[in-house]
Chain A
Amino acid sequence: MNSALTYLDHAATTPMRPEAVAAMAPFLQGTFGNPSGAHAAARAAKTALEEAREEVAELLGARPGEVVFTAGGTEADNLAVKGAARRARATRGADGVVTTAFEHKGVLASCDRLAAEGFRIEALSVPQSGVIDVDRVLAAVDERTAVVSVMLVNNEVGTIQPLDRIVAGVRDRAPSAVVHTDAVQAVPWIDVARAAAGVDLVAISAHKFGGPKGTGALVVRNGTAVEPLIEGGGQEAGLRSGTSNVAGAVAMAAALRATCDARAADVVRIGALRDRLIGGLGTAVPGVFENGDRRAKVAGNAHLGFPGVEAETLLVALDQAGVCAAAGSSCSSGATDPSHVLAAMGVSRDDARSSVRLSLGFASTDADIDVALDVIPRAVAQLRRAGEAA
């Protein structure tokens, strides 16, 4: 980590793990072949690609043939939601999609697209705990449901969703419905192989766990019927054409291996850091509140509100002090848009506007927390004083 920065934005992206950098290096320098070719250079690349696929499959509890490499989590979500819904409608007339209102935009925007195509979309609100009510999901599911998409871990508030119970209920009510989960935020913290064991489609993204940006995967289990979005040379079993990103896949596999190996210890260590951070801020900053039920959260997530302070202003103050944090969801212009996640959870607009996400990860240290506990209370106090003066 750049020692000048205190990085509390691991849910946005993580630095690369050294294992991933080392794994991809040969494919940036020497081994350049196109795995689809029929010569020695191609074979070397193909071998590496398939070994990466085997590794990813094993760590996600899938078979190698079930792993489709994509250019990241958003693409994997799009492929899953649009691809499965369109196929389900074409083959059996199912036209319903059930999801939550606090999904990643990759899912929500896909649902918007499907709505424009005539699908019925049910995007359920979420309690303030940040944990979806299983019964509400199941009540929305019927025989006409094509896809149920519920994230495994929410990207803003870090809450883990009761996916196993949702899967069991959906199988009961609508055996033909495809279940998708955006597991992008889950990988560093929970065993996705187990947590998403019964799920048909599972999306991950390498850069959230120490891999490179622009690389992800969709697990397509048991031949779940999915229509491709990108067509061409038929790579990835026809589900994702385009010359394979060998370096990315290899690095993702290495990052995933390192993440899974370190996970148990990381969760304990980082969970303690996170609790020290929240505890310290709770003591030093009057009125601070938490968004989402901490007991349901992954170890790296702190989502805190500072009444009387605008998050957008606080982020600037923190940045000026070398502390990187986030609020809401970043739009392409770089502006902070009001959080659709907090809105879906029924958090008031004022509370949402004063809330920031502090997300820890494998690179987080005790020193980061020391800096945060020094900088954040001072910044909040300064902005509150200014607010009173105004």
Chain B
Amino acid sequence: MSVSVSEPDSRVLVAMSGGVDSSVAAARLVEQGYDVTGVTLKLWGGESDSGCCSVADVEDARRVAAQLGIPHYVFNFTDEFDDAVVGRYVDEHRAGRTPNPCVECNRSIKFGRLLERADALGFTHVATGHHARVTRSDRGTFELRRGADAAKDQSYVLYMLGQRELARILFPVGELTKADVRAHATHLGLRTAAKPESMEVCFIARGGRESFLTARVPARAGAILDTDGATVGRHGNITTFTVGQRRGLGVATGERRYVVDVDARTATVTIGAKRDLLRDAVMVRDLLFTDGVPSGAVVVQTRAHGEPVAATLDGSTVRFARPQPRVAPGQVVALYRGDVLVGGGIAT
């Protein structure tokens, strides 16, 4: 049961990145009769080639807003983004963990600062172009569901949304497939209809994660060990390794090797065979639940586009029904019941 029914005095602030999803999100809100205002968030002042926050993207958003006949603003959240997203991303990597900056951005910026500012300005709702759905349970509480397009579902990076947020959020393209979104944009003649998707971390420019981190965290060389503790090689910088990583180990062995552990304290990387990565459970910190603690069986997803697997939640431990490759510490572990996201936390 969908709640995307226009209430007459609903005023919606829609975050428009200049991409096709948020363009169509804005268009659908207008079609549904909401009083809509667009906003583009300036998040990153530094160099980036993914197009995030570029003048061209802001211009795309502005032009789409003009075509839809809605006001459009730009909010400068670069300070907050620097602290809460980029700074944290770097700190987490420094500590040997593998953060998801989109999650932090959703938590602190889009559904933090933006929601606050929207409230202050009297907007009843904030909308984004995320592929996810908000529905009502039989008890009347809000539920976060996967987007209709399984391949594009983004509920995972929204796991932190609680009742307070869900009550005020609209995901107007959540019911659509990506193909529907593009078709709708084309139908409306929106200039963003054929725009390619951004796939990478928005603030990381050409040169990639390694050079971004190397520029911010002093390189610390160290040993590469096998699972027996024997030294099998050396690496140049601990910060660039992630649990589960296969490429770029610089160690020639017969079998495929994976990073099974990263110890930032000693700058040590441990590698092993795929089976050495397998775990029965993952410990999760900072667990949040959309609507109370779920009991019994859940499915968990441990990467943004990872396969959901069966598990049970036991306190702060998620036990897999069958052993799974180790979740890199810092990654989100999202818990689902069917297509309803019930909560999640951070892998330790």
Residues of A within 8 A of B (CB): 310, 312-313, 316-317, 319-320, 332-338, 382-383, 386-387, 389-390
Contact = CB atoms under 8 A, between A and B. Distances in A.
B71 A313 contact: no
A332 B116 CA distance: 26
B58 to A, nearest CB: 4
Contact of B117 (A313, A319, A337): A313
A333 B55 contact: yes
Contacts of B42: 333, 335
A335 B74 contact: yes
Given A387-B120, A390-B120, A334 B74 contact: yes
A390 B119 CA distance: 9
Interface in B49-92: 53, 55, 58, 62, 71, 73-76
Contacts of B74: 333-336
Contacts of A387: 120
B121 to A, nearest CB: 6
A336 B76 contact: yes
B33 interface: no
A102 B239 CA distance: 41
B75 A335 contact: yes
B119 A333 contact: no
B55 A332 contact: yes
28 contacts: A310-B117, A312-B76, A313-B117, A313-B120, A313-B121, A316-B121, A319-B71, A320-B71, A320-B121, A333-B40, A333-B53, A333-B55, A333-B58, A333-B74, A334-B58, A334-B74, A335-B42, A335-B74, A335-B75, A335-B76, A336-B74, A337-B76, A338-B76, A386-B119, A386-B120, A389-B119, A390-B116, A390-B119
Interface of B: 40, 42, 53, 55, 58, 62, 71, 73-76, 116-117, 119-122
B18 to A, nearest CB: 10
A389 B164 CA distance: 14
B120 A382 contact: yes
A203 to B, nearest CB: 26
Contacts of A338: 76
Contacts of A317: 121
A383 B62 contact: no
A317 B58 CA distance: 21
Contact of A383 (B40, B76, B120): B120
A381 to B, nearest CB: 11
Given A334-B58, A390-B116, A390-B119, 12 more contacts: A313-B117, A313-B120, A316-B121, A319-B71, A332-B55, A333-B74, A334-B74, A382-B120, A382-B122, A383-B121, A386-B116, A389-B119
Contacts of A390: 116, 119-120
A8 B191 CA distance: 33
A390 to B, nearest CB: 5
Contacts of B53: 333
Contacts of A382: 120, 122
Which 9 A-B pairs rank lowest in CB-CB distance, beginning with the nearest? Answer: A386-B120, A335-B42, A335-B76, A335-B74, A334-B74, A333-B58, A333-B55, A383-B120, A390-B116
A319 B58 CA distance: 19
Contacts of B71: 319-320
B168 to A, nearest CB: 13
Contacts of A335: 42, 58, 74-76
A8 to B, nearest CB: 17
Contacts of A312: 75-76
Nearest to B62: A334
